[in-house]
A and B are shown apart, each in its own frame.
Chain A
Amino acid sequence: MPGDPNLPNPHRRNFLRGSAGVAIAPFAVRAARAEIPALDASEDARALTAVGMTVNGQRRRLSVDARTSLLDALRDQAGLTGAKKGCDQGQCGACTVHVDRRRILSCLMFAVASDGADITTIEGLAGEDGALHPMQASFIDQDAFQCGFCTPGQILSAVACVKEGHAETEADIREYMSGNLCRCAAYPNIVAAIRQAKPLMEG
């Protein structure tokens, strides 16, 4: 390898490489336990509020800070990390979930406001037997993702897109899927996946 790797200015792109470590560090991961004190809306802004919702067909009770987004509640409390935080500002669509059968951005929804809501996340899309939803299967078939980070949001958006009737033409699909950014730019493949899944969903 040419040059001193500590020199920051190699002629061309040089990468310092080395041998792997050999010690096996124990990998300690324990599931976080959600504590659920039942609290009503409080005058104390730091108190937690209990909210009940149906998530992927199961009744859930979460206690949330009123500042908590539905996205953070799903990820940190319900243990459903499929929805992703890509911008936390409603600009990327990675956090898309279904609330009461509509696709929404969970980063812009207050978790307290979802009290009583019926929520579907990517984890709830496949059948209980593990059979993939046609949209999930079509995403694999059409290679509609690369890194996969935006994919749960894309798929939930795509399912809604078909159900809304916004998947009649390729132009429609492109337009109505434009709220979900994909930096890997798998867009044409996403369009192809939706076209493949649409008759399967309707049939």
Chain B
Amino acid sequence: MQPITYERPETVEAAVRALGRPETLFVAGGTTVFDLMKVNVLKASHLVDVTRLRDPRLSAIEVSDTAIRLGALVRMADLAAHPGIRAICPLIPLSLDLGASEQIRNMARLGGNVLQRTRCAYFRDTSFEACNKRNPGSGCAALDGHNRQHAILGTSTACIAIYPGDFPQVLAAVDAQVEIAGRQGKPRTIPFTDLHRLPGETPDVETVLKRDELITGFLIPRGPWLRRSLYLKIRDRQSYAFALASAAVALDLAPDGTVREARVGLGGVATVPWRAREAEAALKGNALTEAIAHRAAEAAFAGAVTRSHNHYKIPLGKQTLVRALLGAAAMEV
């Protein structure tokens, strides 16, 4: 880890201005920055600590009739513990509680959480030479390496690194928007599903953020599906482990059980927070039976591409989604 300088601006303007310096990184909780800097995966010579920016909305959880707004500096633990959110959208605290540990949830902020880096072993260990994400053009060691954890959706021949995390899959599912501040002009807002880029030929470019842009918040439109929502995470350990497969589902059911609206996000299986619109289409207008749930799961994984050690993720991913859908349908709301 090279020497660094450090600054702690007080305004968003000052923060994004600071990113004009070369080799500069934002840091908030540090939980997906400091670890990687120690092992020379992330290299920076200047850190801009954004945790003490004065804008109170950055740390606010705001609920209106039409939307939930989450400031980018809200701690994971605080959002998980927010009683209002739990009542409106149980999916959100569920996904947070199942992620990381309470210590990390106390440190990590939502803005950093959605930008967390892959857990691909070949990315996180510089002694492996080939990693297109870390070292563009060097190849992908995971393609024929040990790839039990790796992605089966959204992959390319350049990268199969999994997108980790749980909460971002929820944001992808529930039509969240991301608010972004930059040096030029007014803040912009984009759909969360547009924030992350598929690896394609440039897996090193993970998001559409410009290098001097800062996420300031998330906007989740309120819909009747948020109440009937759950997050199911399957992993080797019972806790403190990344997903092998996960499903974020939110359903609006008619009194006769017909699916009026469905929102489906998938984790542990894809290179980005994954929105399974094909599954949603398979559900819409149908009664949520076991057969329909399976049809949705088939649709969600129709495009899956596996490698030597991760074939199991297709049946696992499907069953995870089926279980989540049936579980959500059975919820009392």
Chains A and B share a contact (CB less than 8 Å)? yes
Within 8 A of B (CB), among A57-85: 65-67, 69
Within 8 A of B (CB), among A95-145: 96, 102-105, 107-110, 112-113, 115
Contact flag A105-B49 (CB < 8 Å), given A45-B3, A66-B5, A66-B6: no
CA distance A136 to B222 in the complex (A): 46
Q: How far is the CB of B59 from chain A (nearest CB, A)?
A: 13
CA distance A67 to B2 in the complex (A): 8
A88 touches B38 (CB 8 A): yes
A41 touches B102 (CB 8 A): no
Task: Flag whether B304 is at the interface (Cβ < 8 A).
Answer: no
Contact flag A166-B3 (CB < 8 Å), given A108-B35, A108-B107, A109-B34: no
Q: How far is the CB of A121 from chain B (nearest CB, A)?
A: 14
Task: Flag whether B47 is at the interface (Cβ < 8 A).
Answer: yes
CA distance A104 to B76 in the complex (A): 12
CA distance A118 to B77 in the complex (A): 19
B5 touches A113 (CB 8 A): no
Task: Flag whether A169 is at the interface (Cβ < 8 A).
Answer: no
CA distance A175 to B240 in the complex (A): 9
CA distance A41 to B5 in the complex (A): 7
Most buried by B among A65, A105, A157, A175: A105
Within 8 A of A (CB), among B15-72: 27, 29-31, 34-35, 37-39, 45, 47, 49, 51
Q: How many A-B residue pairs have CB under 8 A?
A: 99
With a cutoff of 8 Å between Cβ atoms, the chain A residues found around residue B238 in the complex are 174-175, 178
B103 touches A179 (CB 8 A): yes
With a cutoff of 8 Å between Cβ atoms, the chain B residues found around residue A176 in the complex are 102
A69 touches B34 (CB 8 A): yes
Task: Flag whether B10 is at the interface (Cβ < 8 A).
Answer: no
B47 touches A65 (CB 8 A): no
A113 touches B3 (CB 8 A): no
B35 touches A103 (CB 8 A): no
Q: How far is the CB of B117 from chain A (nearest CB, A)?
A: 13
Q: How far is the CB of B160 from chain A (nearest CB, A)?
A: 23
Q: How far is the CB of A31 from chain B (nearest CB, A)?
A: 28
Task: Flag whether A86 is at the interface (Cβ < 8 A).
Answer: no
Q: How far is the CB of B18 from chain A (nearest CB, A)?
A: 12
Task: Flag whether A151 is at the interface (Cβ < 8 A).
Answer: no
Task: Flag whether B100 is at the interface (Cβ < 8 A).
Answer: yes
Q: How far is the CB of B3 from chain A (nearest CB, A)?
A: 3
Task: Flag whether A93 is at the interface (Cβ < 8 A).
Answer: yes
Contact flag A178-B240 (CB < 8 Å), given A93-B103, A102-B106, A113-B49: yes
B6 touches A103 (CB 8 A): no
Contact flag A65-B101 (CB < 8 Å), given A89-B38, A108-B34, A109-B34: no
B103 touches A103 (CB 8 A): yes
A110 touches B34 (CB 8 A): yes
With a cutoff of 8 Å between Cβ atoms, the chain B residues found around residue A89 in the complex are 35, 38-39
Task: Flag whether A168 is at the interface (Cβ < 8 A).
Answer: no
CB-based closest 3 A-B pairs? A179-B101, A45-B3, A178-B239
Taking A110-B30, A110-B49, A157-B102 as given, write out 20 further A-B residue pairs in contact, using a Cβ cutoff of 8 Å, ordered by the A residue number.
Answer: A45-B2, A45-B3, A66-B4, A89-B39, A96-B103, A103-B102, A104-B103, A108-B34, A108-B35, A109-B30, A110-B6, A110-B34, A161-B102, A174-B239, A176-B102, A178-B238, A178-B239, A178-B240, A179-B104, A179-B240
9 A-B residue pairs with Cβ-Cβ distance under 8 Å, sorted by A, are A45-B45, A67-B3, A102-B106, A104-B103, A108-B29, A108-B35, A109-B30, A110-B6, A113-B49
